[in-house]
Amino acid sequence: MPGHRVVALLGALLLLVSCSASSRSDEPPPSSCPALHFDDVRGPVPSYVSAPLAAFPNDQALCRGLWLPTADRWLVPQGLALDGRTAWVSGYRWRKSYGDRPCRLLHVDLLTGRLLASADRLTGSVGDRGATFCRHGGALSSDRHGLWLAEADRLWLVDPARVGTGHEVLRVWRTERPVRGSAFVDGSRAEIALVSFSDRHAGRTRWYSFDDLLADGVTTLVAGRPTRADQAGATRTTSAVRRVQGTTRGPGGVWSTSSTSTCGMLVTPGGRRVAFAPGAEDLEFDGRGRVWAVLESGARSYQRDGRPLVPMLARFDARSLLSGPDTTCSW
């Protein structure tokens, strides 16, 4: 879709939702917001941060920021799933070794940053294999089945009502390479997609039918045609952006983030590479056409290394983003 059509479609959507919401909210309309300063960021302030927030290209579109609970305990946010006026955030507890980085799952209030529920570790089994725990927590999605959480080698299905009880995991699948769980794309009610990260070239998006995925006895996701009864194969494969960190459906199609801890971009369905926050990971449009994203550069492990200070969860004015500059990121 050409870039001007995406802008026009998004503008029409924002006009519609801002008009419908104006009578029930005292917030500014989605087309504008005041500059965000350090003291405006909500939630429990981590001990390792101090003013000011870092400047970055397109930061005029940053409308709200939150610090996340457990930030002082080395939380690195990765995945995001909005749920009304709350959000689910997945991530990991930073440790030097990747294998020692357990997934964390938080449920937070978007107005205050207050912690509503959490799990510091998710444990489960793939079929009749021994118990294992979730690592990294790189992608998150919510639908009628529950919370879907992806890591590099496994896919987890979690009951949100049980988070924090120790019995939240409903089912676990392993992913057989080249299938990787770096991001999700929500499909129709009939399918979901796993998106793989690549530093050197475009990523791949593999789509799976819920009927296949949830069938009794299925424990493994494969890229091609299944050869065993315990496998579910991708029904189709499409491309993803290079260094993909997050994906979501929005006006015009699939929107993606691509980033390092010092530079970020938002990639539109038409392929425009818009300047975005450093360390941008997962993202999602809310019901008013605004963009929320989790930003790992605000995590303790990155701040220790001198990365730009940004909120860990942020809301952006989409129209302002698209009116701003293209990215200067070099990949």
Output the CA angle 226-179-236, nearest 5 degrees.
60
CA dihedral 92, 71, 86, 145 (to 10 degrees): 10
141 or 199: whose pLDDT is higher?
A: 141
- d(Cα 84, Cα 282) in Å, to the nearest integer? 17
pTM of the model: 0.90
> Helices then strands (H, E): number in the chain?
4, 24
pLDDT tens by residue, 217-266: 999 999 999 999 999 999 999 999 999 999 999 999 999 999 999 999 99
pLDDT tens by residue, 297-308: 999 999 999 999
Indicate the range of 20-29, 127-136, 272-281 predicted with least confidence: 20-29
Task: Please report the pLDDT score of residue 27 as a whole number.
Answer: 40
- d(Cα 152, Cα 32) in Å, to the nearest integer? 38
Task: Please report the pLDDT score of residue 14 as a whole number.
Answer: 47
Lookup: tokens for 271: 């392929």
pLDDT tens by residue, 207-222: 999 999 999 999 999 9
Architecture of the domain delimited by 3-323: 6 Propeller (2.120)
pLDDT tens by residue, 22-68: 333 334 345 568 899 999 999 999 999 999 999 999 999 999 999 99
Q: List the domain boundaries for the chain.
A: 3-323
Q: Exposure pattern of 5-15 as b/e (b: 16+ CB <10 Å)?
A: ebbebbbebbe
pLDDT tens by residue, 57-105: 999 999 999 999 999 999 999 999 999 999 999 999 998 876 789 999 9
Q: What is the mean pLDDT of the chain?
A: 90
Residue pair 47/315 in contact (Cβ under 8 Å)? The answer is: no
Cβ neighbours of 118 (radius 10 Å): 16
- d(Cα 195, Cα 141) in Å, to the nearest integer? 12
Cβ neighbours of 217 (radius 10 Å): 9
- d(Cα 43, Cα 283) in Å, to the nearest integer? 19
Residue pair 275/293 in contact (Cβ under 8 Å)? The answer is: no
Lookup: tokens for 202: 């475009």
Task: Please report the pLDDT score of residue 199 as a whole number.
Answer: 87
Residue 188 has pLDDT above 80, yes or no: no
